[in-house]
Amino acid sequence: MNKVITINLGGNAYQLEEGGYDGLRAYLETANTRLRSNPDRDEIISDIELAIAEKFRALLGGNKTVVVGKEVSAVLAEMGSIDADPAETSGAGGASAGPAGSARAAGTGAAATDHPPGGGPKPKRFYRIREGDMIAGVCNGLAVYLNIDPTFVRLAFVFLTILWGTGVIVYIVMAIVVPEAKSPEEKAAASGDPSTAQEFIRRAKEGYYEAMRGFPDRPARREWKRRFKREMRGYADQWRFRWHGRGTETASVHPGIGFAIPFLSLMQGMAKILGICALISLLATGAVFGKALPANVPVWVAALLLLIAYGIIAGPLKIARRACYYGMGGPGWSWPIVFLVDALVWIGVVAILLSLALVYFPELSDAVKSIPPLIHQAAADIRNWWK
């Protein structure tokens, strides 16, 4: 007597003998591991599940309701082991082997020969991951290791660089020291076992087919399918799109707007630099670009006036730029990120300019040193005025 386990494949229930179930699970787990670095992993796994479901369906019928272990093995052998990288001719392990090699890998529970089952989550290792990297894959690998979005890791590095200048050095050291994940096994080890993510995907897929059968008519079903398809495709590319697709997206909405944004950014940036230079020269020499202040105007009032003047110049530019962002598709997901990136870029530029200026212009560092007295003076002035 054999225990029977009911599973859900492609929205239909199938009953498998326990041995067959183990084999199938090991097969799918191996598939998941091998495809870990593949951007279409979820889609391929779902294709594979559907294909297995079709093969099971062909086996069943009449009084036969249970797929026995031998049949599962045969189906899996027919499926063949998952070819992680179809472009490479030197695939890993038996990936490129013919039917004989695949049959070995897919035999009852033997798909697990490469990755022992029941071993629990594999220990994570920190690797550089080149798929979807920006420079050398350090941030990408760290993000996978920490299980967070690579964007955050990159931002952290940018902040480290701006604030203390250490981000770049740390990055370079990591790029040299940390090994790159090359083989599928290493790629798998980079993220450990994403059992929760896997579970989530599985549930999402079940939900898809469940929902589809529940729809009363074809148009509704088609609409649902269309949406699901779009989501499945869109998800993987999304963050990449955020970083690389910004320019193209801008251009595709309206060429004029696409052109206006960088132009306005440039104007705004120039205004900003001009304002900062004016402020620096004011603080350093007590005169704006060599033009002395009228007598009886204290430096702090002049600085305040300078800031207001800057606001008057830069304000409309800012508003115009913002209008352009809204114009290119309204407040979608993209604009806060656009703002954030812009802001970060400017913080970086200003920080670099300031640090350079501090090194090369002694007057400026003097000015910085003299800021505390200035504040005291401002406070004193306000006190006097109040009286």
Partner 1 sequence: MSVNEKFSALRKGLLEFVVLQIISAEKVYAADILQQLSGTEFTTQEGTLYPLLSKMRRDGLLDYEWKESEAGPPRKYYALTPKGQEQLQETLEYWDQLNVTVKKLGKK
Distance CA 116, CA 152 (A): 34
CB of 22: closest distance to partner 1 in angstroms?
Answer: 18
Under the binding rule (CB under 8 A), the answer on residue 329 touching partner 1 is no
Q: Indicate the residue among 97 and 344 with the shorter CB distance to partner 1.
A: 97
Does 296 bind partner 1 (CB under 8 A)? Our answer is no
CB of 68 to partner 1, least distance (A): 20
Nearer to partner 1, 111 or 264 (CB): 111
The tokens 């800031």 sit on which residue?
307
Site for partner 1 in 80-109 (CB under 8 A): 80-87, 89-91, 96-99, 102
CA atoms within 13 A on the CB side of 176: 5
Q: Which stretch binds partner 1 (CB under 8 A): 4-12, 114-122, 162-170, 340-348?
A: 4-12
Contact assessment for residue 288 and residue 282, using Cβ atoms and an 8 Å cutoff: yes
- Looking at beta carbons only, is 41 or 272 nearer to partner 1? 41
Q: For partner 1, which residue of 125, 130, 225, 246 counts as binding (CB under 8 A)?
A: 225
Is 29 near partner 1 (CB under 8 A)?
A: no
Strand partners, 64: 61
Query: Is residue 47 involved in binding partner 1 (CB under 8 A)?
Result: yes
| Contact call for residue 31 and partner 1 (CB under 8 A) | yes
Q: What minimum distance in Å lies between the beta carbon of 3 and partner 1?
A: 26
Cβ 232 vs Cβ 43: under 8 Å: yes
Q: How far is CA 309 from CA 269, 279, 374, in A?
A: 15, 11, 21
**Start-to-end C-alpha separation, the chain:** 99
Binding mask 157-196 for partner 1 (x = CB under 8 A): ----------------------------------------
Distance CA 94, CA 116 (A): 16
Q: Which long-range contacts (CB under 8 A, 24 or more apart) does 245-253 make?
A: 246/334, 246/338, 246/341, 249/328, 249/329, 249/334, 250/328, 253/327, 253/328, 253/329
Rounded to the nearest whole angstrom, what is the least distance from the CB of residue 82 to partner 1 in the complex? 5
Q: Any contact of residue 294 with partner 1 (CB under 8 A)?
A: no
Alpha helices per DSSP H over the chain: 18-34, 41-59, 69-79, 99-106, 138-146, 150-164, 166-177, 184-191, 195-214, 218-244, 246-253, 255-285, 299-327, 334-360, 362-369, 371-386
Shortest Å distance, C-beta 42 to partner 1: 10
Q: Kindly identify the residues of this chain, within the stretch 50-79, that bind partner 1 according to CB under 8 A.
A: 50-51, 53-54, 57, 78-79
Is residue 48 close enough to count as binding partner 1 by CB under 8 A?
yes
Distance between CA atoms of residues 321 and 170, nearest Å: 35
For partner 1, the closer of residues 81 and 250 by Cβ is 81
Site string for partner 1, 227-256 (x = CB under 8 A): --x---------------------------
Least distance in Å: CB of 87 to partner 1?
Answer: 7
Q: Which residue number, 25 or 57, has a Cβ lying nearer to partner 1?
A: 57
Give the list of residues 6+ apart from residue 168 with CB closer than 8 angstroms, or none.
161
210 binds partner 1 (CB under 8 A): no
Q: Which of 4, 5, 8, 11 binds partner 1 (CB under 8 A)?
A: 11
Q: At what angle do helices 41-59 and 69-79 cross, to 10 degrees?
A: 130
Nearer to partner 1, 97 or 170 (CB): 97
Residue 240: CB minimum distance to partner 1, A:
12
Classify the C-alpha dihedral 37-43-47-48 as positive or negative.
Answer: positive
Q: Taking CB under 8 A as the rule, does residue 43 contact partner 1?
A: yes
Nearest distance in Å: CB 352, partner 1: 38
Whether the Cβ atoms of residue 274 and residue 362 lie closer than 8 Å to each other: no
**What CA–CA distance (Å, rounded) separates 260 from 269?**
14
**CB nearer to partner 1: pick between 103 and 314:** 103
Q: Which two tokens stand for residue 206?
A: 């079940």
Contacting residues toward partner 1, per CB under 8 A: 10-12, 31, 35, 38-40, 43-44, 47-48, 50-51, 53-54, 57, 78-87, 89-91, 96-99, 102, 209, 212, 225, 229
